[in-house]
Each structure stands twice: as C-alpha cells, then as structure tokens.
Amino acid sequence: MSKSFITNPAVDAEPTVDPAEVRQAANALMRGGLVAFPTETVYGLGVDADNGDAIARMYAVKNRPADHPVIVHIADLGDVDYWVQDVPDYATALMRRYWPGPMTLILRRSEHARDAVTGGQDSVGVRIPDHPVALQLLREFRARGGHGVAAPSANRYGAVSPTDAAAVRSELQHHLAATDMILDGGASAVGVESTIIDCTQGSPTILRPGAITGAMIEASTGLAVASGERPRVRVSGSHLQHYSPQAKVVIGGTSAAGEGLIAGHEVDTPPQVIRLAAPSSDGEYARALYAALREADRQGLAVVRVMAPDGDGLAIAIRDRITRSSAAG
C-alpha cells in the first residue's frame, strides 16, 4: 500500500550524495561530530544519540534549552527496541504504515535513552525519515555500531527550520567545527516538521501536527485521535514562540507598502508589497513557507503578512507553524 502524505514532485528524482561522503559523515558521527543531513521534512543536526558529550555540544551549537527533548532517528524497525519499551499495538501499526515517513512516535523510553535526549522525561521520540540520503547515513552509522542519531532541526533554537543545505550553512556555518559536516540532499519534500504522536497512553494523541494527519492515524489504528498538548509532555517545536524569522510575522489583515506577503496564489499582491510565496496547494504552501520566511530576512523586511490556508489535513500543520512564528511579535 502506498503512502498518502504530501511529497514534492520537484524532488522525485531522489537526490543522492557521493557514497564516500556519506561514509565520511557516518565516521564523523562515530567520533562525536555533528552532521547536518536532509530529511523529507526539514534538515536535521545529528549526533550519536549514545554520546553524551556530542549531545551536549549539539545543544550548545543550537542554543537549545537543556530540558527540550530531541528526536532519535533510526534506520529501520529493528532498531526500535533499543530505544523504547512497552510498544502498544496501535503504535506498531503506525510504524508499519508510515515509516519511513514524516511521523515521530513518543513511546516509553528504554534504559538506553539518555536524559539529554528525552529532556529528563520517561518517554522518547523516534522516527525513520523518508529521504535516501538520511537512510544511507543511518545505515552506514548502524554498520559501524551506532544505534540512532539524535537530530533536532539544523538551526539555532527558535529560528526558522532549514529546508535546504544553503539555509543550514547560512544559519550554522560559524558554529560548526571543521570536522563537522553538512550533507546536501536537495530541498526537503514535505517542508514542515514531522507529526508527533504520543503513544504512551491507550490511544494516540497528536502533540505536533504534520503531514500524517488525524484522519490517516484513525484509518490505520481504528482509534479516535485526540489533538493538543498533554500535561507534562514536552516535545520538539512545542514552545509557543518557534519557527520565527527576524521579521515580525502578522497573520491576516491588509498588506501595507514595504511588507512581505505569503498567501495562496488566488490572493492578489497589492502595490509595493513584496510577494514572498504564492502557493497553489497546501503541499506547495508547506514547502514554500520556511524558505519564504528566510527570504524576508535576507531582504531585510520588517514585517511579513501571512494569509494562512483554511481546511484540515496539512493545512492544520501550516497554521500551527505560522501561529508559532508570529508569537515573537
């Protein structure tokens, strides 16, 4: 059965990286280095999830709060049991249906999941990304004895997530060492972070919306899906202010001269307004959003006005990211 989450026709050729470079990156991870790598959602900044010193350095590079957990990326289903325990049947059904894919599952942690990865919680987030370069890297890392790569988005904490290697270099090049690496696997196909699903209770709860929607989860598990933040559960990207450019993001209203505009293609661009994106579908909107916010900063714009898409599915995730990006204002 084929997956039904949004993909990008422009990257259907499956970008590749020189296998020697991927092997070099896997070696760098084993030595405690940082490797930025592409996934179908956004680019991640990866370290050996078993290496406490490497995790601490990754947090420092990102300026990330110490209690904010990160997601462990694994190569295949055989790696799940190293990191988690007490996996419910419905979580197994989701793994089999949507991995590799833009879905993170929160499960009870095993003894191998460090506090530095989990934020001191009794659960850990795991996923298998759906990108050929990411999977090559994870498999090479596993072949060297690695068990998983802890990887938040490859940007400074709270900033706009990168969806291509150029954005990673712009954001982090002054914070990385010469022995760290950035793998360029082209543009991310989905463009917003993975759906995060809490699977520690009797039924699934969406803690962060993404391309795997509530309807898809219900269809795969036969269970009703709740949405919202569960008390005491912290997950990546859950702070109110997040995904924020330097420009002030304003939702809705009337555009003024000199402002940037992100809106569907059906919305006209007023005079002297800088059009940053005009997507014709929710999938295009998700892929364009972060690049458009970064472009606003490149142009030195003070205000970006955003007309968020209506509806369910991926539009929910887009509105979530827009709302959090506007909280800084």
Q: Is the pLDDT confidence value at 248 over 50?
A: yes
pLDDT greater than 60 at residue 148: yes
Q: How many CB atoms lie within 10 A of CB 5?
A: 22
The second-level CATH assignment, the architecture, of 9-227 is Alpha-Beta Complex (3.90)
The pairing of strands 44-48 and 149-150 is antiparallel
For residue 241, is pLDDT > 70?
no
Closest CA to 58 of 74, 85, 42, 36: 36
Could you give the CA distance from residue 207 to residue 201 in angstroms, rounded to a whole number? 13
Question: pLDDT digits over 155-190, tens only?
Answer: 999 899 999 999 999 999 999 999 999 999 999 999
Over the stretch 92-146, which tens digit does the pLDDT of each residue have?
999 999 999 999 999 999 999 999 999 999 999 999 999 999 999 999 999 999 9
**Measured CA angle at 83 (ends 80, 88), to 5 deg:** 60
pLDDT tens for 35-81 read: 999 999 999 999 999 999 999 999 999 999 888 999 999 999 999 99
pTM: 0.92
Q: Which residue intervals of the chain bear CATH 3.90.870.10?
A: 9-227
In the chain, the percentage of residues whose pLDDT exceeds 70 is 90
